[in-house]
Chain A
Amino acid sequence: MNHRDIRKLISAMVDGELDDAGTKRVNEHMASCPSCTRYARALRAVSADIRSVIPITLPDTFPLAVLRAVHAEQAESRIWMPVELFARRFVVGLGAAVVLSVALAMTIRPEEPVVAEPYLTGELSDSTATRILLTKETPSKNDLLLAVVSPE
């Protein structure tokens, strides 16, 4: 066992958590190792110093103060509960109204009237098709059809 292993055992021994066999082994090692003996002594001193910090004590009335705080918080939440409930309902209602409005708008929106192309109704057309036809050098079949039905 090296010094580090022994010191791990020393740490447990200082805490009273080392079995008899381990304690015997540590004591045998320390008998010939001043460094580990100093380590054990320092650990005990540090323990004592940590324990010497004065513990904080809360007053005996602390449990009642906690209960008072609990009740105060409950009372406050009771006061705000109707407001919170109203606010929640308002937000939910508003959301529902928006969704409904959008749905209705989409459902009942009047469709664009179907307007017959002017060249089919006999009116003078300035539609794109007509304008294209007039500029075409070699019109296609469709272009010709448009030209026939469009009164130029």
Chain B
Amino acid sequence: MNYAESDDRSLVQAFQNGDERAFEEIVRRYQRQVANVIYMTSGTPQDVPDLAQEVFLKIYKSLGGITVEHSLFSWIYRIAVNVTIDELRRRKIRRMTSLDFSGDPEENEPTFRDSSLPDDQLVSAERREQVWKALRKLSDTSRTVLLLREYEELSYKEIGDILHISEQAVKSRIFRAREELKELLKDYFEVRP
């Protein structure tokens, strides 16, 4: 059976009835989002494949016991965030116990779509780098809500479904996240014409 057209609920049911191809389709459907959640949370692209695999292994183990009432993505999203945060925490502990402070958390900067080019565009690249660094400094709550909006381009309702909060709360959180960002990017907000 081809599951490409099936909705999430049918996929979960098919998997629970023992069809692994349904799981394969779930991975195919959500691998991009999971990869980007991990990337945005950890900031290191080289972590993404391993952590994404860990996320889907967890999903495989737990999928048998869930019922999809709201959004499957919201469930997957939370697993992805938790796995990544756990990994970051483990690393922090390892760094503290080994007294190894040599690693620069900002050494793995992301690449930007057009950062390679003439002067004015290099200025843009520099500005984007600033935005990226500021984004990394936001609290987890603020970064998550902002990335779901800006990067995944989800509506307030979809974000609310994922985070189990009202649309009004989403609106407030996004505004607060932008206010935090504004503090971190004072030049950006004040100097721009």
Contact = CB atoms under 8 A, between A and B. Distances in A.
Interface of A: 7-8, 11-12, 15, 17, 38-39, 41-43, 45-47, 49-58, 62-67, 69-70, 73
B135 A50 contact: yes
Interface in B49-69: 49, 52-53, 56-57, 60
Q: Which 7 A-B pairs have the closest CB atoms?
A: A63-B27, A50-B150, A49-B131, A56-B35, A11-B175, A49-B128, A66-B56
B192 A51 contact: no
Interface SS majority for chain A = helix
A63 B31 contact: yes
Contacts, number: 113
Interface of B: 20, 23-25, 27-28, 31-32, 35-36, 38-39, 45, 48-49, 52-53, 56-57, 60, 110-114, 127-128, 131-132, 135, 146-147, 149-151, 155-156, 171-172, 174-175, 178-179, 181-182, 185, 188-190, 192-193
Contacts of A39: 182, 189
Contacts of A57: 32, 35
A53 B57 contact: no
A70 B111 CA distance: 32
A43 B60 CA distance: 39
15 contacts: A7-B175, A7-B179, A46-B131, A46-B178, A47-B150, A49-B132, A50-B146, A55-B32, A56-B35, A56-B48, A63-B31, A64-B24, A66-B57, A67-B27, A69-B53
B56 A56 contact: no
A15 B111 contact: no
Given A46-B181, A50-B147, A62-B27, A11 B174 contact: yes
Contact of A51 (B111, B151, B178, B182): B151
B110 to A, nearest CB: 5
A68 B153 CA distance: 32
